[in-house]
Chains A and B, each alone.
Chain A
Amino acid sequence: MEQQVTNNSKKLKQLPQNLSSLKTVSYDVNARDKLHAIWFLGPSLLVLAVFVFYPMLRTLYLSLFLTNNLGKPTVFVGLQNYWSLLTSSSYLASLQATFVYVIAVSILTLIFGLLLAQAASFKVKGSNFFRTVFSGTMGVSVSVAAIFWLFMFNPSIGLLDQIASVLHLPVINWLTQPGWAMTAIVISTVWMNLGFTFLIFFGALQTVPVNLYEAAQIEGVSKSYQFFHITLPMISPTVFFVSIITLIESFKSFGLIDLMTAGGPNNATNLLVYRIYQDAFLNGNYGLASTESVILAIIIAIFTFLQFKILEKRVTYQ
């Protein structure tokens, strides 16, 4: 089920390349060439078949069954799994929480990633140091990040609440109050995402020719106008790429949730993937978990499709 999700996201990641519609060249393929092709494709096709295509189809198949706790299908129930999920208030709550989480994480990651990259681009003393620091979270594992943020959010020894008490602000039980737990998870995920996002954006900013800014400067164009009318359009393919990657990755979030809130409190952070994990591996309900996987895949596909529809128009490839 997890594999299916991964596979789906892989397909979506490849889409931007496919978009630059190259003219199809028709080759005259004779039988010997075909044989060659099969030899070359064979090994990877085999691996894909075993680890991707089969699990995908199996998930689709299982989603139509009730299973025993070993994952064997027992009773064919058709679309009933789907129906019961879509009418379950707790599933819909998960769905809603996931949307909130995904949208918040994607937008904040994009904004802060871009801000950090822009800030690190200024040629000032010590900017190299900050470039290293900003990309640092790339090298941090989920478990380490979880421990770090558990300490940060801890109401008695956590830094955040210590600052709050110094400022005479109310102390927040970050991980045990439903509204705040979601905020805490979003903050930690954005923090985790920033390293990668920063690095990609920073790289993209370096490719914008300095002359464009000089030309604008001479014409008296303000810095903010330069950012929105030169920088953003110039790096729009990267922004688009990062937004798609981030969206898909946040739909798949699992580690931080498992380690920090375990879906709680009161299911406030019980996001779709975490729920799949619970249904399959804690409750042994493989059929239902498969159904959830299929639905998640469809949701990701729809979101990505919408992103392409809405955002791609604003992207200029060079």
Chain B
Amino acid sequence: MSIELQKIAKSYADNLVLQDISVQIQTGEFFAIVGPSGCGKSTLLRMIAGLIPISAGILKIDNQVVNQLPPQQRKLTMVFQNYALFPFLNVHDNVGFGLKARKLAPVKVEKRVKEALELVNLSEFAARKPRELSGGQRQRVALARAIASDAKICLMDEPLSNLDAQLRGKMRSEIRELQQRLGLTLIYVTHDQIEAMTMADRIMVLNDQQIQQVGTPTEIYQRPQNAFVAGFFGTPRINLLPVQHAVAKQLVVDESLTVNLNQPLPAGKYYLGIRPNDLRADFASEKTNAALRNLEYLGTQSVIHAELDNGQLVRVTVDGKLTAGINQRLLVTAEQNFIVFNEQQQAVLFAERGKQIGTTSNQQLQEA
């Protein structure tokens, strides 16, 4: 079951919440919608579900326009952040609630509930009430209910936000596995970039009422089309440094922190986007251009927060543990992997190991 959004918009009175949302989601695709709080991602999901009306645009499910169809006729199911379980029903009845309400034959209800509970490993908890379950188990009940409904499209609204970090990691792979196994077309709303990166086939990044970028996790991470997308994905956050001046084929952030271009850029103001792991920190160097301000030890790597002599703050990751004192001097230099953004913070150039690709427009990537 494919889903197609054509110029979808949502407004409340004069307040525009979403505009110009167009995307095609393939059958069996794991599609994540990511964005900061209040970017309209849940609103978009609710419009697809049919819980709130679409202000403008066309929504197609299986090549059929469904704008006016009530939720139950859109043949989809939904998992909510707070699970939306009925506290007065046990696990079994929660999973079978919708089936029973739709007057499915009791034998069929029983079969589907049993299968769904087996799929999420909750068979032995069938008689328990939701309050007697842990957060992860409750979420699995919600999953089982979605599975039992037998819809081929599943919408999930921040399903893991209420779980602790460890459980979230475990549930991520469980959900992914289920989606593959059942061949579900899954639209997954989250504000967590890691969830989106690790689970999704494709990601839609939303901000400021509109799509920032749609692409695979690799595309989103390596070819972010603007500074927002670049900053939203990847921890620690990408460094976005104003370029002091561009001399011929060189962009200069400061005297020692420069990158080389294969071809000169037209005159203008630019930002240099460099991931922390593409910067190098040298504490032994005689020549220095920064001072250490803070150090985060993360086990396999450490994050250096340094202040360049021109006042810019940069993040640099180094392997293992670093023994350096606060305010110690260091030299920060750049590798040749970087992204150049123009004044409007749109990406104009991607550089990977010497190979550089320019973008002519912001929407299309073009080999330079």
Listed in ascending order, the chain A residues whose CB lies under 8 Å from chain B are: 209, 211-212, 214-222, 225, 229-230, 233-234, 236, 316, 318
Is B76 an interface residue, CB under 8 A from the partner?
A: yes
- The answer to whether A236 and B77 touch across the interface, beta carbons within 8 angstroms, is no
Contact with A along B125-159 (1 / 0, CB 8 A): 00000010000000000000100010000000000
- The answer to whether B98 and A220 touch across the interface, beta carbons within 8 angstroms, is yes
- The answer to whether B101 and A215 touch across the interface, beta carbons within 8 angstroms, is no
Assembled-state Cα–Cα distance A214/B98 (Å):
12
Is B82 an interface residue, CB under 8 A from the partner?
A: yes
- The answer to whether B72 and A217 touch across the interface, beta carbons within 8 angstroms, is yes
- The answer to whether B102 and A220 touch across the interface, beta carbons within 8 angstroms, is yes
Closest Cβ neighbor of A212 among chain B residues: B84
Please give, as numbers and ranges, the residues of chain B lying within 8 Å of A220 by CB-CB distance: 71-73, 98, 101-102
One of B49, B80, B82, B86 near A230 (C-beta < 8 A): B86
A to B CB contacts below 8 Å, 14 in the list = A212-B84, A215-B78, A218-B49, A218-B51, A218-B72, A218-B78, A219-B99, A219-B101, A220-B71, A220-B73, A221-B102, A233-B86, A236-B88, A316-B87
Please give, as numbers and ranges, the residues of chain B lying within 8 Å of A229 by CB-CB distance: 97, 101
One of A209, A222, A316 near B84 (C-beta < 8 A): A209
Closest Cβ neighbor of A225 among chain B residues: B101
Determine how close the nearest CB of chain A comes to the CB of B160; give it in whole angstroms. 16
Given A218-B71, A218-B72, A218-B76, A211:B84 Cβ within 8 A:
yes
Determine how close the nearest CB of chain A comes to the CB of B187; give it in whole angstroms. 13
Determine how close the nearest CB of chain A comes to the CB of B101; give it in whole angstroms. 4
Listed in ascending order, the chain B residues whose CB lies under 8 Å from chain A are: 49-51, 70-73, 76-78, 80, 82, 84, 86-88, 97-99, 101-102, 131, 145, 149
- The answer to whether B51 and A316 touch across the interface, beta carbons within 8 angstroms, is no
Please give, as numbers and ranges, the residues of chain B lying within 8 Å of A316 by CB-CB distance: 87-88
- The answer to whether B51 and A221 touch across the interface, beta carbons within 8 angstroms, is no
Determine how close the nearest CB of chain B comes to the CB of A205; give it in whole angstroms. 16
- The answer to whether A216 and B97 touch across the interface, beta carbons within 8 angstroms, is yes
Closest Cβ neighbor of B99 among chain A residues: A219
Please give, as numbers and ranges, the residues of chain B lying within 8 Å of A225 by CB-CB distance: 101
- The answer to whether B72 and A215 touch across the interface, beta carbons within 8 angstroms, is no
- The answer to whether A219 and B88 touch across the interface, beta carbons within 8 angstroms, is no
Closest Cβ neighbor of B77 among chain A residues: A218
- The answer to whether B82 and A211 touch across the interface, beta carbons within 8 angstroms, is yes
Determine how close the nearest CB of chain B comes to the CB of A28; give it in whole angstroms. 33
Assembled-state Cα–Cα distance A225/B72 (Å):
14
Given A209-B82, A214-B51, A318-B131, A219:B87 Cβ within 8 A:
no
- The answer to whether A216 and B80 touch across the interface, beta carbons within 8 angstroms, is no
Given A215-B80, A219-B77, A233:B88 Cβ within 8 A:
yes
Assembled-state Cα–Cα distance A200/B72 (Å):
32
